[in-house]
Structure 1
Amino acid sequence: MDKLLDLRELLRDFVFRPAIGVTEKDIPDLSGKTYLVTGASSGIGFYSAKFLAVAGAKVYLTGRSLSKLEDCLEKIREQQPCADVHGLQVDYSSPETIQKSIEPIVQEEKLNGIIHNAGMNHADATVTKYGYTETLVVNAIGPQIVQRILDPLLLKTVQTAGKDNVRVIWVASSAHFLAPPCGGIDWDDLNNTDLGGRGYAYYGETKTFSIYQAILWGQKYLYDGIVSVAVHPGIITSDIRRNAPGQKSPYEIFCRPTEYGAYAEIMPLFIKLSSARNGTYFVPFGQRARIREDIELAAYGPRGRKAWRWLQKESGKYIQ
């Protein structure tokens, strides 16, 4: 039965085509609020940042390319000339540079939410100088570094914004259903050195860390009034496959427009949510969904504690 439920969740975007529950027209006035959207120099992240900025929020966009960020800021200002938007060149594939790159956000008086949108698809099993594949560094270690650096600001913000009004969105994927068994993480081969047909499954494994982070970070700050959830943005036209090998994927015929992924990402920023439900997994559009059972169970047990220790250890190498 569980396998059938897993298959249904994996195929929901292809077969059931969930209806859109929100568009940018449904976003409330966000004047006076500040958000960070990572990986926002293109794709889903750009639209998420644009929608927030047009709704009146102050928004920081991060991306690898400064020129692309500048283009994004210009596009947002074309629609909203008074938009309070700022681009920060942040390269998750170079974790030692992250802390300095996000210093302007640390200097802010408040931060109402983070969308951990930055990510990359599976490229290959090449191990970088950091000891892990670039995919794992970008999808798991990078977000942990940013989150740890900004934790004090989030905790400060909740004092004035109020309980459950500060949100952290960890962008996951339905690909976690393809991750290895027994918790979704192959601790004996974190770099997927033996590909064995697990290319896309390896992407699912790195995004399993996003689900773990939503749960484990949410448990750590359970009584501090900060909401932490995971979101699958859907099967979306995006440039996340820019590093993926091979020809155009056949699944792309099922893709929805890029902005639809942003609708899914931003919805948990303003719908009614409680930190008591931290670790909730959302799928398009705004629906609470099931995490693969063995992954959810693992996150709350010894494997989850192991994952958290690993994330803290690896991210701590690049935080002063």
Structure 2
Amino acid sequence: MWTADDIPDLSGSTALVTGASSGIGLATALHLARRGAEVIMTARDRARGRVALERVRAAAPEGRVELRGLDLADLASVRAFTDDLDRPIDLLVNNAGVAMIPRRTTADGFEAQFGVNHLGHFALTGSLLPRLLAGQGARVVTVSSGAHAMGRIDFDDLGLENGYRRFGAYCRSKLANLLFALELQRLAGGKLLSLAVHPGPTATSIMRPGVFTRPVTSFMRLALKAPEKGALPSLYAATHPGVAGGTYVGPGPRALTPSPRALDEDLARRLWIVSEELTGVRFAALTSRP
């Protein structure tokens, strides 16, 4: 069985992990640093981020790790973040996200789960594309979920103004993550590898008060796997030398088959075009569409 001990030597590579202040993102950053990667951790909450940074530095004292602020709910923050980066990126792990929150909007007016989980990462990846293509063999790993299979995208109601359900909005955002990852691979060809992952049921900050009732939250914290195990699909997709672009990695880690909706190329193309229009970010360096 593949474990974090099987991660190859990553010396000389630079990895960027979003949402690295806790949970799966923190575990991902820690193991990448342990194996020699230079790791850029991002966090919206700088105070929590600094605590996480010190945890990684303590666990990987020889590692090169830094923290940068990034708010995926604000496209201006994404632009400022990418403008400030001055080095090639070999690995981008699109991990950050929100889940099953009450309806709210981002700084740019998008429904928050769609705006943060999908549009924020779409804009970040597109803005970082020149840095990803500056080296060879770059990878983009996007954290989706098995919940994507229950997702639906109504392009006439992207703001979910005609009815908002927390879980439905979450499933939609995870479907968008998987559609994005697979379409990115189709467009990139051999220029980079794009993969998606399903961490499986993991005890992360999604278990915060207010998402579920207290008894359900307590039960789920006991029943769910630790973030260290939830991070294995991300780490496998990010580092395994034999994994192919377009693979959807789940617990095990092992390759999973996406839902039929996630494999709908027409849906993926439409989502991509809409995402370009909403964010103003275009992946100009990739193969042009016919």
**Normalization by structure 1: what TM-score?**
0.81
Residue 305, structure 1, aligned to residue 272, structure 2: no
Aligned residue for 1:142? 120
Residue 129 of structure 1 deviates from its aligned partner by 4.9
Secondary structure, counterpart of 1:62 in structure 2: strand
Q: Give CA-to-partner distance per residue, 1:218-267, whole Å, 9 cap, x none.
A: 1111132x110110011001003448644244554431011111112111
Figure out how many residues of one structure are paired with residues of the other and give that number.
280
Q: Secondary structure at the match of 1:304?
A: helix
Could you say if the C-alpha distance between residues 242 and 310 of structure 1 is closer, same or farther in structure 2, counting changes exceeding 3 Å? farther
Task: Say which of 266, 276, 279 aligns to 1:315.
Answer: 279
Cα distance between partner residues in 2 of 1:124 and 1:72: 27
Q: Work out the CA distance in 2 between the residues paired with 1:104 and 1:286.
A: 34
Q: Is the 8 A contact 2:106 2:116 kept in 1?
A: no
* Distance in 2, Cα, partners of 1:243 & 1:307: 32
Q: Would you say 1:126 and 2:104 are equivalent positions?
A: yes
Q: How big is each residue's C-alpha offset from its partner over 1:271-317, in whole Å with a ceiling of 9 and x where there is no partner?
A: 2346xx53221111221111111331x2x12x222101111112217
Q: Find the residue that maps to 2:139 and give its secondary structure.
A: strand
1:72-87 → structure 2 map (5 Å cutoff): 72-87=52-67
2:232 is paired with a residue whose SS is: helix
Cα RMSD, aligned residues only: 2.2
CA contact (8 A) 1:125 1:195 kept: no
Pick from 113, 124, 127: which aligns with 2:91? 113
Residue equivalent to 1:8: none
The correspondence of residues 31-110 of structure 1 with structure 2, limited to 5 A, is 31-105=11-85, 107-108=86-87, 110=88
Identify unmatched segments of 5+ residues in structure 2.
Answer: 284-290
> C-alpha separation between the residues in 2 aligned to 1:69 and 1:63?
5
Q: Could you say which residue in structure 1 is the equivalent of 2:197?
A: 231
Q: Cα 1:76–1:251, aligned 2, differ >3 Å: closer, same or farther?
A: closer
- Checking the alignment, whether the CA contact within 8 Å between 1:139 and 1:210 is kept in structure 2 is yes
- Equivalent residue in structure 2 for 1:257, among 226, 232, 241: 226
Cα gap change, 1:245 to 1:270, in 2 (>3 Å): closer
| Residue identity (%) | 28
Per the normalisation by structure 2, the TM-score is: 0.89
State the partner residue of 1:175. 147
Q: Does the CA contact (< 8 Å) of 1:96 and 1:318 recur in 2?
A: no
Residue 294 of structure 1 aligns to a residue whose secondary structure is coil
Counterpart of 1:179, as a letter, is G
